[in-house]
């Protein structure tokens, strides 16, 4: 959850041993933050009263002083302009695990007008971006301590919020830092950052997140950064204030807008469970209400056996007339959700789904050919893309490279070969470990410089694939995947 913070210095002491053995010391942290509210259009009716959810603690103390927070319209050089993204931009915006490639050139970002005049376009990072990235670079070597301290502050000050998080916090801690790095990397690319945060805001609705929760999280976040950052001064704190004012408002507005047209979550009944290999299952679901999505997108899923633990799964087909949803799931070692779906789920079980997300979708306004790499169960969204091209009557060339360790692990190769026989524009290339890494095999064919490339599979495969395709001459803006946060480069000044 991203939140605003306030630039006021107070004194706060943490008991020694709460999360590290060092003695407590005074820390510069923000006072209680003013709660941002969703912007409402003039024709929008007043909202109905919300059901009560966990609220921040009302205990008195140094965090209870009320202070005004800068308006999102006055956040200086970080003001993000709303505009419809271009074709290539829209393809690499998304929520975590998320998809993107490199940010657009600096001339795509325009600073706000000053005194009615458009200032010169800045080709370097903004001053706030430099300071925020410096903080993140400083805490990167001790990220585990920072995130542990952040959650300790949050739950001590606001114990009512603990129930919104999973019992096991390891994955949650990783996600916080990844989200921070992703936002920092794209601070000066308004369209990419805005779309990423809008997806986060919409996705957080399924957790029961309310605008009043943002200040509580912001106080804990800035408190943790102030404690562990090597360089923390007034200018750095002010940069974080402006940054998180903007970030929180984008997320809150997106959630409020999404609430008008979509539920926070869907219930979906398992209608079939097909065990393709000892550790791979195809699970078909029937949602309790229409679930709008695009081929290539993914959902977040919660099982009844592991409450509050959500995992991402891509849809394995284009939208179907019967409304059913198909997922490919591989049970991974120590994977609570994946093992439950593969070995425990049966028809009749009911799961919960978050909203669809991801921009690894086909642009049907062009006839550009597609190059698709699917590793393991990563073939699921690739198959959906092929179906989508077929349904739109396109005859663009599509090459699918389907990789796995062995032929036995190519569990859906028969389906892909049937599609190849049906559509003459489709070429399917099976790749096993004996032929080397999947990205290396792809580069032996080609050239691919004029194709739109899609990568889906394990993170390591996608990372190697992005590097290999760039090296083979595929422009970065033509490469799509769903690992925006994981592949965000280390921040620097």
Quick one: which of 351, 329, 330, 335 has its CA closest to 271? 351
Asked if pLDDT for residue 348 goes beyond 70, the answer is yes
pLDDT in tens, 99-140: 333 333 333 333 333 343 444 444 678 899 899 999 999 998
Asked which of 14-18, 299-303, 468-472 is least confident by mean pLDDT, the reply is 14-18
pLDDT in tens, 134-188: 999 999 899 889 988 988 898 899 898 887 777 666 666 667 667 776 777 778 8
Asked if pLDDT for residue 448 goes beyond 60, the answer is yes
Query: Helices (H), strands (E): how many in the chain?
Result: 12, 11
Average pLDDT of the residues in 206-232: 88
Average pLDDT of the residues in 6-13: 30
Confidence (pLDDT) at 311: 92
State which of 18-22, 100-104, 341-345, 484-488 shows the largest mean pLDDT.
341-345
**Whole-angstrom distance, CA of residue 18 vs CA of residue 150:** 11
**Whole-angstrom distance, CA of residue 118 vs CA of residue 272:** 58
Quick one: which of 485, 204, 213, 456 has its CA closest to 354? 204
Confidence (pLDDT) at 412: 96
Confidence (pLDDT) at 34: 53
CB 104 within 8 A of CB 196: no
Give the rounded percent of residues in the chain with a pLDDT score beyond 70: 71
Confidence (pLDDT) at 204: 85
Tally the C-alpha atoms within 13 A of residue 402's C-alpha that lie toward its C-beta: 27
Quick one: which of 180, 162, 195 has its CA closest to 55? 162
- Look up residue 419 and give its two tokens: 């599609």
Give the rounded percent of residues in the chain with a pLDDT score beyond 90: 43
Confidence (pLDDT) at 87: 36
pLDDT in tens, 400-435: 999 999 999 999 999 999 999 999 999 999 999 888
Asked if pLDDT for residue 269 goes beyond 50, the answer is yes
């Amino acid at each position: 959850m991203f939140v605003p913070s306030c630039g006021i210095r107070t004194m706060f002491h943490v008991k020694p041993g709460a999360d590290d053995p060092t003695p407590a010391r005074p820390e510069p942290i923000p006072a209680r933050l003013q709660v941002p509210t969703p912007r409402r259009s003039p024709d929008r009716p007043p909202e109905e009263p919300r059901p009560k959810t966990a609220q921040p603690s009302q205990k008195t103390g140094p965090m209870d002083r009320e202070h005004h927070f800068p308006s999102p319209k006055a956040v200086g050089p970080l003001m993000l302009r709303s505009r419809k993204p271009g074709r290539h931009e829209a393809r690499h915006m998304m929520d975590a695990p998320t998809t993107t490639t490199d940010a657009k050139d600096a001339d795509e970002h325009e600073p706000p007008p000053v005194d009615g005049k458009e200032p010169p376009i800045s080709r370097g990072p903004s001053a706030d971006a430099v300071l925020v990235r410096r903080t993140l670079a400083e805490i990167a070597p001790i990220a585990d301590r920072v995130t542990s301290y952040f959650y300790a502050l949050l739950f001590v000050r606001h114990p009512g919020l603990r129930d919104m998080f999973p019992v096991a916090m390891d994955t949650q801690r990783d996600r916080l830092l990844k989200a921070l790095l992703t936002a920092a990397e794209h601070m000066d690319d308004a369209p990419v950052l805005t779309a990423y945060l809008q997806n986060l805001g919409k996705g957080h609705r399924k957790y029961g997140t309310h605008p009043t929760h943002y200040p509580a999280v912001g106080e804990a976040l800035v408190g943790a950064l102030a404690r562990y950052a090597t360089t923390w001064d007034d200018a750095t704190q002010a940069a974080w204030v402006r940054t998180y004012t903007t970030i929180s408002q984008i997320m809150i507005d997106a959630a409020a807008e999404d609430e008008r047209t979509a539920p926070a979550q869907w219930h979906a009944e398992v209608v079939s469970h097909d065990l393709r290999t000892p550790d791979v299952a195809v699970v078909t679901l029937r949602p309790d209400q229409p679930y709008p999505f695009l081929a290539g997108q993914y959902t977040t899923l919660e099982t009844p056996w592991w409450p509050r633990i959500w995992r991402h799964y891509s849809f394995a087909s284009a939208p179907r007339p019967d409304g059913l949803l198909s997922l490919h799931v591989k049970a991974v070692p120590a994977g609570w959700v994946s093992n439950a779906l593969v070995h425990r789920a049966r028809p009749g079980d009911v799961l919960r789904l978050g909203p669809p997300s991801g921009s690894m979708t086909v642009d049907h306004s062009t006839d550009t050919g597609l190059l698709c790499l699917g590793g393991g169960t990563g073939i699921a969204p690739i198959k959906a893309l092929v179906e989508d091209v077929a349904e739109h009557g396109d005859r663009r060339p599509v090459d699918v490279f389907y990789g796995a360790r062995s032929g036995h692990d190519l569990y859906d190769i028969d389906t892909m070969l049937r599609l190849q026989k049906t559509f003459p524009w489709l070429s399917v290339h099976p790749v096993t470990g004996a032929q080397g890494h999947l990205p290396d095999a792809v580069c032996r064919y080609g050239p691919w410089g004029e194709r739109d490339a899609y990568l889906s599979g394990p993170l390591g495969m996608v990372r190697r694939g992005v590097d290999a395709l760039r090296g083979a001459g595929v422009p970065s803006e033509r490469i799509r995947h769903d690992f925006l946060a994981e592949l965000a480069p280390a921040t620097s000044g």
